């Protein structure tokens, strides 16, 4: 199956993304661990450290899926609260179950909604985060503008996403790993090769660090910068709404 974005219309992309996450929701956490050999956990820890949340911060975690960012944030910020917004009810269900399993019921709200048309009023949140989500959003520029809109003045934007590897040798190795091994792993573990083929293609078509930095700035943010993780396999972009 070719999931290439250029070849499909936007509504088709939205439909496919919804379908992919619906199919993999149950196996999603396990696959994350297998594919990244657990490194995604370290990246997420680093993401929270860079947020450095202190006090009564209200975070909107978009594409919050199974709660990975929200749970870490609540632990790091005892007075903070999180609204998780995800387009997929299946992912939200998984996240709710996980929250209950961990005994997390307070300071956490789940909302089903689209990153590119957020169901929130202007200037509602102190922080906005999107972790491994922006890549899946059909209208990325719109999503960045929405992030800007729902943040309060002084609010901070954080994005964790796959990016472009900066080391020559690692680049080839990573390319082989992603295009050849990941779809196979997906077939074995999640019984869904296509979903993981989509994952790999969406990563390779996502803008590089500098391009995304430009887009975040174009959405209105100031002090925009990025920080590479694992030589650029992933990157954290951040910005401030003045």
Binding site for ligand SAM (CB under 6 A): 17, 21, 62-65, 68-69, 86-88, 91, 114-116, 131-133, 136-137
Closest CA to 200 of 215, 216, 185: 185
- C-alpha distances (whole Å) from 45 to each of 93, 97, 104, 183 are 23, 22, 18, 26
Of residues 9 and 223, the one with the C-beta less far from ligand SAM: 9
Q: Is residue 131 marked as binding?
A: yes
9 marked as part of a ligand binding site: no
Nearest to ligand SAM of 131, 222 (CB atom) = 131
* Residue with the shortest CB distance to ligand SAM: 65
Q: Of 42 and 154, which has the nearer Cβ to ligand SAM? A: 42
Decide whether 22 or 152 has the Cβ nearer to ligand SAM: 22
Q: Smallest gap, in angstroms, from Cβ of residue 40 to ligand SAM? A: 7
User: CA-CA distance, 217 to 183, in Å (whole number)?
Assistant: 34
* 86 annotated binding-site participant: yes
Name which of 122, 138, 134, 135 is nearest 158 in CA terms: 134
* 114 DSSP 8-state letter: B
Number of alpha helices (DSSP H) and beta strands (DSSP E) in the chain: 10, 7
Name every residue whose Cβ is closer than 8 Å to that of residue 181 and which is 6 or more positions away in sequence: none
Closest to ligand SAM by CB, 107 or 142: 142
Q: How far is the CB of 242 from ligand SAM (least distance, A)?
A: 25
* Least CB distance to ligand SAM at residue 131 (A): 3
- Locate 237 and state its tokens: 């972009």
Q: How far is the CB of 17 from ligand SAM (least distance, A)?
A: 5
> DSSP readout, 7-42?
TS-HHHHHHHHHHHHHHHGGGHHHHHHHHTTTHHHH
Query: Minimal distance in Å, beta carbon 189 to ligand SAM?
Result: 15
Neighbours of 67 (CB within 10 A): 27
Q: Residue positions in the annotated binding site for S-adenosyl-L-methionine? A: 66, 86, 114-115, 131
Q: Residue positions in the annotated binding site? A: 66, 86, 114-115, 131
């Amino acid at each position: 199956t070719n999931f290439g974005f250029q070849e499909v219309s936007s509504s088709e992309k939205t439909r496919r993304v919804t379908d992919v996450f619906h199919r993999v929701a149950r196996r999603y956490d396990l696959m994350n661990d297998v594919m990244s050999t657990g490194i995604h956990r370290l990246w997420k820890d680093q993401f929270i450290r860079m947020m450095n949340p202190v006090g009564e911060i209200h975070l909107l975690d978009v594409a919050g899926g199974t709660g990975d960012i929200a749970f870490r944030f609540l632990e790091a910020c005892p007075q903070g609260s999180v609204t998780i917004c995800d387009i997929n009810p299946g992912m939200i269900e998984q996240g709710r179950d996980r929250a209950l399993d961990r005994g997390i019921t307070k300071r956490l709200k789940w909302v089903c909604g689209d990153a590119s048309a957020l169901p929130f009023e202007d200037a509602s949140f102190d922080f906005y985060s999107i972790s491994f989500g922006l890549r899946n959003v059909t209208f990325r520029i719109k999503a960045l503008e929405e992030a800007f809109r729902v943040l309060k003045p002084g609010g901070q934007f954080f994005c964790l996403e796959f990016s472009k590897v900066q080391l020559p040798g690692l680049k080839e190795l990573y390319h082989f790993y992603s295009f050849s091994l990941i779809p196979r792993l997906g077939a074995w573990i999640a019984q869904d090769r296509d979903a993981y083929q989509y994952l790999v293609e969406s990563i390779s078509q996502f803008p590089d660090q500098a391009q995304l930095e430009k887009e975040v700035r174009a959405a209105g943010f100031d002090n925009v910068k990025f920080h590479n993780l694992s030589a650029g396999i992933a990157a954290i972009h951040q910005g401030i709404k003045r």
